[in-house]
Structure 1
């Protein structure tokens, strides 16, 4: 039986939620204090993980039986996504939401070797375990409620995104241009 679009949307948000949890755990460990706000919006989602998971399923599925090629492709795909996302955020807001500048082998604090290596392992974990697990979790939603749950998640995220975007753009515009030159805010 094929997945419905609603099942895929629920999977997308489950991956985004798991990415949010991963970010919170890793950063809480690194900072030695709880970090609980890792998404762009106010909800518990890092949608780059949802896009990464869906992109991996579409683009990297043919490589899933070859661990070496899968590792390399996942590393390249995730690192590229991180770079593009940071560039878009810098262009829109003058900032991005992470900072690798203290890590060795980093590029402008946006990407670093340590994270790229980790993305490769996460890709293998995704294809060996996580994809099936998330699909099963999404399958817990009764078929008659799939549509309502998926559309509710979308509506919540769209509203949260618009609200957060307006706040961020207002914040960016409120700052004096002279103070923003040469400065990068990292959240």
Structure 2
């Protein structure tokens, strides 16, 4: 039982350290602070799974640095590729895209990141994990159990909240679909989603009959609703700037532009 509890604690420790690594890497790359991760809390589960998998698979294997490095590259690359594939198929969303990097496979993994993960894994196995083991060994089984229960409960709640936020994103993209069709009825082409500009264009139809007035107000309400309850949606979009919705990429781009404009105001 203690072995299982230790692995669970390792998962949360490395999920947190992975989140820190992602935030630093993306902040440096984007030259602005990025709160990375699908979940609200400060964890990236893929790092936790990856680290725990490495520890479990490699703990009784030769600890030669080259051997660890090669095994880590293979294991972490498989994990990242499979995770990307599953997320694309289940959530119909591409969360990261390495298509613009050299030696990539379908944009899901690339050589540069695989090498970085290999280096990080060697550091993990040689330097970090011995310290983590020493730390966890000094915690009683009862305390480990309590921490594991709290951690798993928190993770489940966070996943539910994050999936609800993703659903809100999908709803807003569907609303944008409706708005685009409604605007076409008024011969308004959507180059970008600017709320004030669109409302101003719709106001030009004020003199029309009552039905058209009703339709205009209906469209205006839809436009205003795009702004409502957008905090979690905005967080997800900021965390994954390369996110791609295959069937609604144009709508996603409009939403990004709108939220970017909204954040300036």
TM-score under structure 1 normalisation? 0.84
> Which runs of structure 2 are paired with 1:101-120 in the superposition (5 Å)?
101-120=99-118
Alpha-carbon distance in 2 for matches of 1:34, 1:99: 20
1:1-187 matched pairs, under 5 angstroms: 3-36=2-35, 38-139=36-137, 141=139, 143-172=141-170, 175-176=173-174, 180-181=246-247, 183=249
| Cα 1:6/1:59, change in 2 over 3 Å | closer
Give the deviation of 1:124 after TM superposition: 1.1
2: CA distance, partners of 1:8 / 1:59 = 12
What is the Cα-based RMSD across aligned positions, in Å? 2.8
Deviation of residue 123 (structure 1)?
1.7
Contact 1:99 1:109 in 2 (8 A): yes
**Counterparts of 2:94 and 2:132 in 1: how far apart (Å)?**
28
Deviation at 1:41? Answer: 1.1
Q: Distance in 2 between matches of 1:139 and 1:168?
A: 38
Secondary structure at 2:41 match in 1: coil
Any unmatched runs of 5+ in structure 1? none
Cα deviation code 1:130-181 (max 9, x no counterpart): 21122234346455422222211110001111221233245336634x8842
Once the two structures are TM-superposed, the CA of residue 66 in structure 1 deviates from its matched residue by 2.5
**How far 1:121 sits from its partner (Å)?**
1.1
User: Would you say the 8 A contact 1:64–1:127 is kept in 2?
Assistant: no
Deviations 1:48-103 (A, max 9, x none): 11111111122223434222222111101101111111111111222233232332
